Chains A and B, each alone.
Chain A
Amino acid sequence: MLLVIRDLYRSDKKFAFGFTVICLLIFLALLSFVSPYDPKLWNVVPKNQPPSFRYLLGTNSMGQDIFWNLTHAIRNSVILGSLTAVISIVIGTFVGLLSGYRGGSLDRFLMSVNDSFIVIPSLPILILISSIIKQHISLILIAFILSLFSWPWGGRQVRAIVLGLREREFTYTANFSGMSTFQIIMTEHLPFVIPWVMANFINTILWAIGMETTLAIFGLSSLETPTIGTTIYWALQYQALLRGIWWWIFTPVILAILLFIALYTLSVSISNYLDPRTRIQRMRMKEGGQEA
């Protein structure tokens, strides 16, 4: 695993960029544990101070230090994204494994449900759900709601891989030696699928953080918990832009853009690495380069 990361880091610029940025952001998120301020408290520092040595990224109109608030925001956003990704990937992978291995009418049924969830526009339903439970909303609840709509993408992919595995020799061997369906998909097929699941995991984190940001803009997230989305929400609520407090709105926006690009480049380079076709292409390109 470490070896693969080192190789990728050296050979793939995309991976190097994404990995570095993510490490930096995780470092920032870890800093939140030594934060001098409680992110839920208001008026702990003077309001609307521009960036200075004392307040690295300035302070906002709620009397919070933006830098320290941001460390909490990254941590919460990443936790939310990972939780959503874990839940949806467990569901998606299981559905994909089962659907691909069993085939027949179970496959048809599961895949029509799967496809329906892909086609249904998720945002209106997510908004409907979160506006009903507005008073009780918490990050964990949001993660559960989001995973309702993020599992099918992984499910399709896993199924496609299992369809190939199903016709392989070892599946027959396992079947004839009396393993149950559950045992076969868990012990024989799952290991093949895991690398793909990893790439998908990052994609789901990306999607979940984006969706939470979106819900937060509508005021439908857990607004007292700092996340990237709620930080932007409060900055907009206080008209930060029109009042010239640019450091309040620019910081989370720039951070979000960095985070998204980094996660995306990571997932692209991992799936490129996994895809044997592009690996061959890369090798050919390298050979061609040496000849020339």
Chain B
Amino acid sequence: MNLLKRYIIPRLIQYFIVIFIGVTVVFLVPRFTPLDPVVTVLNRMTSYGAQYLDPSAIEKLKDTMMELYGLKGSIWEQYLGFWKRLFKGDFGPSLSIFPTPVISIIANSLPWTAGLLVVVAILSWVIGNILGGIAGYYADKKWSKFMSIIAMSIYPIPYYIMALVLLILFAYIFPIFPMVGGYSIGLTPSLSLEFIFNVIKHATLPALSLILIGIGWWFLSMRSLTSTIVAEDFVTYAEVMGIPSRKILFQYVMRNGLLPQITNLALQIGGIFSGSLITETVFSYPGLGQLLYMAINNGDFNLIMGIAVLSIIGIATAALVIDLLYPLFDPRVRYR
């Protein structure tokens, strides 16, 4: 009960504030820019040969477009309507693939991104933290310093450039992995072993570029956390007790270091998501990033809006879930 009041409810409130601010920003941004999406689309249509329509038809067209974009009425009515449609999961039709609703296009590419994101987040978190913990505990050793130099030169590289470097290295100079796509052309998606292997082979490079940077970040933060924990009294006490150093490292030092890292994961998940969007476009991986790239190139405004809103909600929810799992790992939050 106490836990609920002190920890879960404030966190839930924070969750709704995040979604509220995010969605409001997405709603306001297009409405405060000088460009009118309806006019833009109308201009494009007339340049494609719709100029022979009579003025009343164009007026009607404009009316329908306003309806489709949710641009009718005062700004408050629009805002309420925006939320109402959001609850129904309706983001209007896509413009590049016209009558198909945005939501079903997104539903097609979401599993690819979600799968990549989950694998990458878990793998890089686990590997980075274990390596970082070990390196922080044996901070004076040569290999530990060497590892942190490598991590320091990998972590600051932007996702995009990392992906490009890996693509040049492993698909162009040493053609080990396929250059683009989610699976080979000609294969039909099925649950066969061949298809799964094919998907994994195509996902290796995108995942690797994300994991490398991820490991760099978790390694560095875990190492600095560990090096402060090592200086604490209970570690000295454990050493004096004669507890084997491997046990001290994994059961006392790492255990304490992992807790802030869980909170960090909740904070970082948005950044990892942005990274996966970028990486996907480099490798033409059929996820949300690729979809977003297509939407930008076609000026598909509804699709961009839909992806922006859904990713805000998705990432906020992921962060919420991680934070709500936190008490399971930290007895201090549970019992106080």
Contacts and interface: CB of A to CB of B under 8 A. Distances in A.
Given A121-B311, A217-B278, A232 B228 contact: no
Nearest to A252: B161
A123 B17 contact: no
Interface in B286-331: 292-293, 296-297, 299, 301, 304-305, 307-308, 311-312, 315-316, 319
Nearest to B278: A214
Contacts of A14: 152
B270 interface: yes
Contacts, number: 138
A26 interface: no
Nearest to B299: A131
A241 interface: yes
- Sort chain B's interface into a size bin: 35 or more
Interface string A101-116: 0000000000011011
Q: Which of B160, B278, B299, B301 has the most chain A CB atoms inside 10 A of its CB?
A: B160
Contact of B278 (A123, A136, A219): A123
A266 to B, nearest CB: 10
A118 B156 contact: no
A285 to B, nearest CB: 8
Interface stretch (A43-51, A53-61, A257-265): A257-265
A264 B35 CA distance: 38
A165 interface: no
A120 B277 CA distance: 15
B164 A124 contact: no
Interface of B: 13-14, 17-18, 21-22, 25-26, 29-30, 33-35, 37, 152-153, 155-161, 164-165, 168, 172, 227-228, 231, 266-267, 270-271, 273-274, 277-278, 281-282, 292-293, 296-297, 299, 301, 304-305, 307-308, 311-312, 315-316, 319
A145 B77 CA distance: 27
Contacts of A274: none
A123 B22 CA distance: 12
A213 B158 contact: yes
Interface of A: 14, 112-113, 115-125, 127-129, 131-133, 135-136, 206, 210, 213-214, 217-220, 232, 241, 249, 253, 256-257, 260-261, 263-265, 268, 277, 281
A116 B17 contact: yes
A113 B293 CA distance: 29
B161 A127 contact: no
